[in-house]
Chains A and B, each alone.
Chain A
Amino acid sequence: MSEAVVTEHAEPILRLRGVGRRFGGLHAVRDVDLDVAHGERRAILGPNGAGKTTLFNVISGDFPATSGSIHFLGQDVTGVAARHRAKLGMGRTYQKTRLFHGLSVEDNLYLAVLGVKQGHLRPVVVPKQDEELRGRARELIASVHLGGRESTLVGNLSHGEQRQLEIGMARASDPKLMMLDEPASGLSRGERVALTDLLLGLDPSITLILIEHDMDVALRVAQRVTMMHDGRVIVEGTPDEIRANQTVHDLYLGRGHQADG
């Protein structure tokens, strides 16, 4: 069905070959090959300690890979610093919210919008440029349903609101690849539904990689699922294949768990 798309972007947006990351004696990620196509929604699943977050850190450049290569948009970014990868079009969130607690909601998004633009060091306010940045920040606030909280200090937001803001932060740079690390963690049932809707409503041209423990969220949003265990990729497939896969059940869902539907 997607032959046109495939020929248009024959190259995957993200290609990992033999990627590994050691922390001293601990081999957190080993020999990972991963291809993510343009516009794909990919979920990464795996038990705690499987190396999912480390894999994210290696892709985003927060930690450099200790082996292997990473290509993003056809370019080798293995040795490129995190801030340059952001400018190439990667945006991410963190498992534990990483926001600027001493700044307002609007200033947080202002920084996220400014990040991939020129003028980080400008010591004067240029009204035209500033209005543009703030206008974009306010658009993002509305898009993650935080309208009316513009001037609230982020430290005073509820946990759910902070998770929403995290997604706004990741979107602010108009990334081509967005990586969300457990966006649903700590959310109430209602907030999870709202989050799923928000993710399903994202621009389809954005490629999305998602680490998620909540199977409802992960399997509803994702088109393909990569299963990790012990630092390695063990299975990859569609949500249906993953649901049906015996190894996944044994490792992750626990023996005796029945897939419902």
Chain B
Amino acid sequence: MRRLPALTVDRGIGGLVLVFAVVAPFLVPQFWTANLLTQTLILGIVAASLIFLSAYGGMVSLAQVSIYGIAGFVVGNLTTNGNTKGLNLGWNPWWGVVLGIVIATIVAILFGALSSRSTGIYFLMITLTFAVIANYFFGQVTDLSGFGGISGIPAPKQIGPVDAHPWRLYYVCFGVALVLYALMRYVVRTPFGISLQGVRDDPVRMSSLGYNVRLHRTIAFAFGGFVAACGGVLFVWWNQHIDPASIQLSAVIDVLVIAVIGGLFRLEAAWLGAFVFVVLNNYVQRLGFWSLSTRFGTVIGLVFLAIVILSPGGLMGIWERLLSLAGRRRSQTPTAQAPLESGTVEPSV
């Protein structure tokens, strides 16, 4: 009961962030809503799929951006009409949503099945391979995209055109992010989710208890792919364009950096990390001094380095440490070890 205050503060802040997200379009300049905040929500979704796999399945996947890209390319091919690369099928954007997510999830099942035997660094390398394959696939299969990519991807008419109504897409992204977040939070407390955490902690023990570890990993990977795919659909609506550079290695690393800056052990950290990343990315480019404007990579690299050294749990780790320090001062007992919520634990590296 002693750690109730910390939990209350944590939830209170979470609630405030949600309220802010709801009223933000009325408070901040349109540039913020249409660009920074929408992009934060979308990148947060992809990073959350990575954090889900890492925190609950022990799988640090570099393929999330590829799966998100596959969903995006499917949407692009199906829904554009005439003047761009790709199949230009001109279908209703809602079909794009369904097929984009379904196809990307099927690919995720395949990737998951192929990588389900591997753990640790080997898993990382296999998913890196997937990322590279996806990148070159869309670059070289010119029927589907080519290096120039697909432009003019429309959002459904209920939401778009995005340039005219940026608020609508912002709220759609907010709603989707919220639903996916709630879904992931729910799933980790189901039989599937608890078993997944068992697989994370000790796969050998899980098999001797009667579990099919590879199947479990595969399905978890597919679920992570589904979440990333939802982000991919939103990305092409927001960006109206996708090309292989959108899923190249630097984009993969961006999402990994977001997840690490936020904190690889807690889902909320995805959006925190994405916000810091997007804001830094935007403002560093406007800084006039030290030629920093062209050196975003250097700046984010230094931020990354500082965070990894100061707090392996990322910004969320710093936050939790502050909360537990405050809690300790109040109660004079060391309750700091107890995490705020069951099921969240720092991965031991």
Contacts and interface: CB of A to CB of B under 8 A. Distances in A.
A124 interface: yes
A169 B209 CA distance: 9
Interface stretch (A31-39, A40-48, A70-78, A104-112): A104-112
Contact of B190 (A82, A122, A173): A122
A83 B194 contact: no
Interface in A95-122: 98-104, 107, 110-112, 114-116, 119-122
A110 B193 CA distance: 12
B195 A62 contact: no
Interface string B175-216: 000000000000101111111011011101111111111011
Interface in B217-234: 219, 223
B337 interface: yes
A110 B211 CA distance: 13
Interface string B333-349: 00001110011010000
Nearest to B347: A102
Contact of B198 (A61, A100, A151): A100
Contacts of A82: 207-208
A120 B192 contact: yes
Contacts of A112: 209
Contacts of B200: 102
A126 to B, nearest CB: 8
Given A86-B210, A98-B204, A122 B198 contact: no
Contact of A114 (B195, B219, B343): B195
Nearest to A172: B209
Given A121-B192, A121-B215, A125-B190, A81 B207 contact: yes
A110 B210 contact: no
A86 B219 CA distance: 22
B33 to A, nearest CB: 34
B208 A120 contact: no
Given A115-B209, A123-B223, 17 more contacts: A82-B207, A84-B210, A86-B210, A94-B205, A98-B202, A99-B202, A100-B202, A100-B205, A107-B342, A115-B206, A121-B192, A121-B195, A125-B189, A125-B190, A130-B191, A151-B342, A169-B209
10 contacts: A61-B208, A83-B209, A100-B201, A101-B345, A111-B194, A115-B206, A115-B210, A116-B209, A120-B192, A122-B190
Interface of A: 60-62, 81-84, 86-87, 92, 94, 98-104, 107, 110-112, 114-116, 119-125, 130, 133, 151, 153, 155-156, 169, 173
Interface of B: 187, 189-195, 197-198, 200-202, 204-213, 215-216, 219, 223, 337-339, 342-343, 345
